[in-house]
């Protein structure tokens, strides 16, 4: 009898919104998964998978402080896939304490990848990057577009991206990089625009709309992103960058108006126009032909996805009330 190979994955930044969806996906596919995060494990109401799943194990570790311990776990576990979501991810707040963003997103990530490049077993690294590094571009962006970062956050992400590229070029690591457009979905934290709008309507609170909401974005549901990430894990080519996006472009103002319409609420009563956020890119749209060649396409329309988000927050409003409505920076 042929023994089946055990499927193993290790997810860094496992408590993040995006990572939770991927872990749920992997556990359904009978993977053994180790999750690593600097924060304690999520409230079970906000966890996409059962914390009692026998195929999941969690370690509370920080890439800034516990890099060697993380590498020890990786060496012992020998996962076939390592997926790194860990980053300081808030764009606007990166202006206040940019050194924290550079520590995590540049220096600590580079140290981690340097350690991974010295491992003596085969694995594929999936590096979660960001389209913010392209800056403000009106036309559709392809994967080899020049970088033009406009915020400390975006600059901090470029360094690790480039370091990983040269590790691939000299065959020291096997990796793919992912840049997803604006990801949303059920259980996203309240400081993101979609849940913040829904929650503000339910609480009858004013919503600050930066710059009047003229910036345009491409929103994609987290379930579509997770399915694409798995395609990249299993079919992605070494050293490639993949964009994950839908073809629906919408301004933030129109997005908020759409949510108001769905919830039968007056847009003018909801919003408070405030100055534009410093360095905010007016528009970017990602070309997605490369990921589609792997057999992927988005299935959840923005309208359907918003309906799911509204339903989720209404059904779990007591739990959402316990959360911080504003982003709280963690050192």
Burial of 146 from C-beta contacts in 10 A (0-12 / 13-18 / 19+) = exposed
The CA distance from 222 to 185, in Å, is 6
Q: What is the pLDDT of residue 1?
A: 43
The domain of 59 spans 8-183+220-244
Same domain, 52 and 115: yes
β-partners of residue 249 are: 218
User: How many structural domains compose the chain?
Assistant: 2
Same domain, 199 and 225: no
Question: What CATH number corresponds to the domain at position 192?
Answer: 3.90.25.10
Summarised one tens digit per residue, pLDDT across range 26-67 is 999 999 999 999 987 666 667 777 778 899 999 999 999 999
Q: What is the pLDDT of residue 20?
A: 92
- Sorted by sequence, the CB contacts under 8 Å of residue 2 that are 6+ apart come out as none
| Residue 281: band (very low, low, confident or very high) from pLDDT cuts 50, 70, 90 | low
Same domain, 81 and 160: yes
Q: Is the pLDDT of residue 2 over 50?
A: no
Q: Are 159 and 106 in contact (CB under 8 A)?
A: yes
Q: Is the pLDDT of residue 23 over 90?
A: yes
Same domain, 229 and 91: yes
Q: Is the pLDDT of residue 141 over 50?
A: yes
Work out the mean pLDDT of the chain and round it to a whole number.
Answer: 90
Q: Is the pLDDT of residue 174 over 70?
A: yes
Same domain, 207 and 163: no
Alpha carbon dihedral 222, 226, 228, 234, in 10-degree steps, equals 170
CA–chain centroid gap for 157, Å, is 13
Measure CA of the first residue to CA of the last residue in the chain; give whole Å. Answer: 52
94-103: average pLDDT: 91
Indicate the pTM of the whole model: 0.92
328 lies in some domain? no
Same domain, 80 and 40: yes
The CA distance from 145 to 125, in Å, is 22
């Amino acid at each position: 009898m042929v023994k089946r190979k055990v499927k193993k994955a290790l997810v860094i930044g496992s408590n993040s919104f995006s990572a939770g969806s991927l872990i749920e996906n992997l556990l359904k596919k009978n993977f053994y998964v180790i999750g690593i995060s600097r924060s304690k494990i999520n409230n079970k109401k906000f966890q996409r998978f059962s914390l009692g799943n026998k195929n999941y194990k969690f370690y509370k570790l920080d890439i800034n402080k516990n890099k060697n311990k993380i590498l020890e776990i990786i060496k012992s576990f020998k996962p076939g896939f390592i997926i790194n979501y860990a980053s300081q991810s808030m764009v606007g707040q990166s202006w206040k304490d940019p050194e924290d963003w550079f520590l995590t997103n540049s220096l600590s990530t580079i140290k981690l990848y340097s350690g991974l490049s010295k491992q003596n077993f085969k694995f594929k690294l999936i590096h979660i990057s960001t389209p913010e590094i392209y800056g403000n571009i009106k036309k559709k962006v392809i994967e080899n577009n020049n970088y033009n970062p406009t915020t400390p956050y975006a600059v901090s992400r470029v360094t690790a991206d480039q370091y990983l590229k040269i590790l691939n070029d000299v065959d020291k690591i096997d990796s793919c990089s992912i840049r997803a457009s604006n990801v949303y979905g059920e259980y996203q934290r309240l400081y993101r625009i979609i849940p913040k709008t829904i929650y503000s309507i339910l609480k009858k609170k004013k919503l600050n709309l930066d710059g009047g909401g003229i910036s345009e974005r491409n929103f994609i549901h987290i379930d579509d992103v997770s399915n694409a990430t798995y395609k990249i894990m299993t079919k992605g080519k070494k050293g490639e960058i993949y964009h994950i996006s839908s073809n629906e472009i919408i301004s933030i103002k129109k997005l908020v108006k759409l949510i108001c319409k769905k919830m039968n609420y007056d847009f003018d009563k909801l919003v408070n126009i405030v100055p534009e956020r410093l360095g905010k890119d007016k528009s970017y749209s990602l070309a997605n032909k490369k990921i589609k060649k792997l057999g992927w396409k988005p299935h959840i329309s923005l309208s359907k996805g918003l309906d799911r988000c509204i339903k989720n927050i209404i059904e779990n409003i007591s739990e959402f009330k316990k959360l911080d409505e504003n982003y709280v920076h963690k050192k």
